[in-house]
Structure 1
Amino acid sequence: MGESKLKHLQREEMRLSCAGVQTAGGRVRVRWETDSAATPMGQLAYFIEFLTLTGLWSCWQDRCPLSYSSPNAPTKADVLGTWLLSILSGHRRYSHVTTIRCDGVNPGLLGMNKVISEDALRRALVAIPEDKGVSWLDDHLRQSTAPLLDVPWILDIDTTIKPLYGKQEGAVVSYNPKKPGRPSHSYHTYLMAGLRLVMGVEVKAGNEHSGSHTLPGLLTILDELPAHHRPKMVRGDCGFGSDGIMRELETRAQPYLFKLRLSKNVKLLAQAFGRMN
């Protein structure tokens, strides 16, 4: 009798520990097992609930400029869900998608029929027109940061060199401080300082790493923002302290703060200011 009561109490505790989660695939109940091994994707159900209740997941699908004519083609949910799960799993190559094809839980929570293969995912992304695809992703990225722009903020700009292995588009041997002689890509990143939220990223060839290649993306972000949402300051290192970049920012009355290289003229200017003080 005692064992029966104990089992009943354990069942009640398990029932009370279950939490209802609303997902794209319907409402499910999530239960934590304290004695089981930990999994990095254990909290994904709650993130999927957030995407579902806010409408972000459905809106992202509806606006995706991907269309198929074949009745056997995968759905948008299959394509975007495979892409999302792969990114959240930390994958860096299309071939890594194979490792999540055995997942029998999370794809269903996203309303997916299946996890598509790496080749199908690659073909689907190629089928998206580049200009429409960039506009689609940029619009959603702007929506995620727009509510935060009512308070004063600083825009940081930076360039990162990523060494490449294998044959990839834009892989060019150029400036590479860690792997000299290795082909690379250059990532031009625009960040909201403090929160470190990404306002935009442009991937360019390895030989397009200077500040002049960062400028077009920077001006695009500034010109698209309303005057009251623009950053109080644009900040960068000495690679951006060139006359061309500063002239464009001054034309837009945009304050900036850049480091300057200690060239001969800069040293003379610093000495002159020192004598004045």
Structure 2
Amino acid sequence: MKLPPKVIHPMGVSQLPEKTDLFEAVEVETYGGKLQVEWDPDAAVTPIGQLPFFIQFLKLGGRFQPWVDDCPLHYKSNNAPKKIDVLGSLFLSILSGHKRYAHITNLMSDRVNSELLGMSKVVSDDSARRGLKKIDEEMGIKWLQTHLQSSYSPY
């Protein structure tokens, strides 16, 4: 068996850029508008500290808003929470590593990440649970399968 040759940079690339520490602010595009992200080398690391970059990926890739728009969750009451708030709360909870609905309560004090997703608030765990129950199972599966397949389909 013959192994393929090692990959070498094309002839036009003579020097690689120097690695430097990232102390400058980086501009990130989110649903809440543009944001300047800066790193503080002395600050504590948070589990979802890189979330603004993931939100930029979702926005520029057209992933989050169509996912919310296509969701078969519909409310008739004017007092009901917005669909984006329910789905966004569940989304942030999952990204935070939560495994129970009750853990959504931990996100209610975090206004930054919810605003970056274009949400007006993080809903309670009861509102999120009731929202999921309102989605018809077959329609919900179709909705999720469609968006999952669009994330890896070549077309």
Range class of TM-score, shorter chain = 0.7 to 0.9
Give 1 or 2 for the bigger CA radius of gyration. Answer: 1
Partner SS, residue 154 of structure 2: helix
What is the match of residue 81 of structure 1?
Answer: 88
Matching residue of 1:66? 73
1:144 match? 151
Tell me the residue number matched to 2:15: none
Q: Relative contact order (alpha carbons < 8 A, sep ≥ 6): 1 or 2 greater? A: 2
SS at match of 1:90: coil
Aligned to 1:235: none
Would you say 1:52 and 2:56 are equivalent positions?
Answer: no
Q: Mean Cα displacement is larger for which, 117-126 or 28-37?
A: 28-37
Task: Tell me what 1:35 maps to.
Answer: 42
- Partner residue of 2:124 out of 117, 121, 125: 117
- Match of 1:79, as an amino acid? V
Distance 1:142 1:36 in 2: 39
Q: SS in structure 1 opposite 2:46?
A: coil
Where do residues 4-43 of structure 1 align in structure 2 (5 Å cutoff)?
17-43=24-50
TM-score by length of 2: 0.82
- Name the counterpart of 1:258: none
Question: Secondary structure of 1:55's partner?
Answer: coil
**Secondary structure in structure 2 of the residue aligned to 1:17:** coil
Q: In 1, Cα distance between the equivalents of 2:154 and 2:47?
A: 30
Structure 1, residues 15-60: CA drift from partner, whole Å, max 9, x if none? x711111101111111111111111111000000000111111110
In 2, Cα distance between the equivalents of 1:92 and 1:121?
14
| Partner deviation per Cα, 1:99-126 (whole Å, 9 max, x = no partner) | 1111121000000011100000000000
Deviations 1:144-164 (Å, cap 9, x if unpaired)?
22239xxxxxxxxxxxxxxxx
Q: Which has the higher strand share?
A: 1
Structure 2 CA distance for aligned equivalents of residues 114 and 42 of structure 1: 19
Q: Report the 3-state secondary structure (helix = DSSP H, G, I; strand = E; otherwise coil) of the residue aligned with 2:44.
A: coil
After TM superposition, the runs of 4+ consecutive aligned structure 1 residues lying more than 3 A away are none
Structure 1 stretches lacking a partner, 5+ long: 1-15, 149-277
**1:59 & 1:32 partners in 2: Cα distance?**
31
In structure 2, C-alpha distance between the alignment counterparts of 1:135 and 1:37, rounded to whole Å: 41
Q: Counterparts in 2 of 1:185-264, with a 5 A limit?
A: none
Q: Which sections of structure 2, spanning at least 5 residues, go unmatched?
A: 1-22
RMSD: 1.3
What's the secondary structure of 1:91's corresponding residue? coil
Structure 2 distance, partners of 1:69, 1:25, is 26
| TM-score under structure 1 length normalisation | 0.47
Per the alignment, residue 13 of structure 2 pairs with: none
Secondary structure of the 1:73 match is coil
Q: Aligned residue for 1:183?
A: none
Map of 2:138 onto structure 1: 131
CA distance in 2: counterparts of 1:95 and 1:123, whole angstroms:
13
